[in-house]
Amino acid sequence: MGVQGTRIAVEPTGIRPWIREAVLAGGGQIVSVAEAEALVWADAFDVANLKRCLAEGPGIRWVQLPWAGVEPFARAGVLHPAYVWTCGKGVYAKPVAEHALALLLAGLRDLKIRALAQSWQEGSGVSLFGRRVVIFGAGGISEALILLLQPFQCTIEVVRRRAKPVLGATRVVALSERHQVLTGADAVILALALTPETEGIIAQPELEVMGSQSWLVNVARGQHVVTADLVKALQQGQIRGASLDVTDPEPLPEDHPLWSLPNCLITPHTANTEAMAIPLLSERIRENVRRFALGEPLLGQVDPLLGY
């Protein structure tokens, strides 16, 4: 089949017109759901309409989801193995890793306190050089982050589902063995998928073993952390502090205690903005449309059984 014969539906209509442009740039022909052999989905949360489109499109074999996180679709049971599923996995690795490093440096250097200060203060903060950093996750974000950390000569330990080697890491442990590396870590960075297994993986027991020198960074999902336990740990000095790009709940209510803590820095889920995402996801969609037409392996494939 020629590239021009690839029939792609883009839904829901009326949002993110740049997705349609990416499909056309890949050689796709935009058609109705009923005529489509593939579906590029433009909404990160509209599960009901996705189910409807799949029911109305008997010829659909491949579905491209927009962002890296697919947990709304996994929870709803939409990720049926009858389809090939792809997402933005790995596309946003560099900007998110960059943000994680920025949050870590800002935390270790007490930049929230400095930004709010209106008078000269005593010096504080620690250097990242030579510190022991624990990263949860072994995907694209973690790979990019390990490269960014190399100039700081950190000892990097990785926690992942299975203890398979990770390039640049001095040690890798399975999720069930996380306390082995959390104990005494200088920094803990969450950059992993949200699944039932990883929900609440940072709670009171983990915060206690991390120690008062440890800084927590979360650029993954808010539900990875038990918020009430984190608030207590920050208030009591169990850990040095936390930098959060994601929270539970999200958005974080204006009166939530995390906002007022001097050792908690919050950014509003901006590790990857839509402006950053447009060129990156456009290229992923363009390339996957091209590959689908030629029968080549697609990028960013999702395992329907694992949910990421």
Q: Which sequence spans correspond to the domains of the chain? A: 3-91+273-294, 93-266
- Kindly tell me if the per-residue pLDDT of 1 is higher than 80: no
Which pLDDT value is given to residue 4?
56
Residue 299: CB atoms within 10 A of its CB come to 18
Peptide bond preceding 268 in cis form (omega within 30 of 0): no
Give tens-digit pLDDT for 150-163: 999 999 999 999 99
**Spatial distance between the Cα atoms of 54 and 174, rounded to a whole number of angstroms:** 36
- pLDDT above 70 covers what percent of the chain? 98
Options 16, 131, 132, 221, the catalytic residue: 221
CATH architecture assignment, domain 3-91+273-294: 3-Layer(aba) Sandwich (3.40)
Say if residue 3's pLDDT is above 90: no
Q: pLDDT category, 67, cuts 50, 70, 90? A: confident
Reported as a single tens digit per residue, the pLDDT across 209-219 is 999 999 999 99
pLDDT digits (tens, 9 = 90+) for 255-304: 999 999 999 999 999 999 989 999 999 999 999 999 999 999 999 999 99
CATH topology for 93-266 is Rossmann fold (3.40.50)
Choice among 197, 199, 250, 287 that is catalytic: 250
Can you tell me whether residue 299 is helix, strand or coil?
A: coil
How confident is the model over 73-102, as a mean pLDDT?
95
| Mean predicted confidence (pLDDT) in 11-27 | 95
Average pLDDT over the chain reads 95
Express each pLDDT in 20-61 by its tens digit.
Answer: 999 999 999 999 999 999 999 999 889 999 999 999 999 999
Residues 213, 238: Cα–Cα separation, whole Å:
8
Whether pLDDT at 69 is above 90: no
- Give the dihedral of Cα atoms 244, 198, 223, 185; nearest 10 deg: -30
Is there a catalytic annotation at residue 221?
A: yes
Which of these is catalytic: 171, 269, 290, 291?
269
Question: Which conformational region is residue 185 in: left (phi greater than 0), alpha (psi within -120 to 50 degrees), or beta?
Answer: beta
What was the pLDDT predicted at 2? Answer: 40
- What's the CA gap between 192 and 62, in Å, rounded? 24
pLDDT, one tens digit per residue, over 276-290 is 999 999 999 999 999
Q: What is the per-residue pLDDT across 214-247, written as a single tens digit (0 to 9) for each?
A: 999 999 999 999 999 999 999 999 999 999 999 9
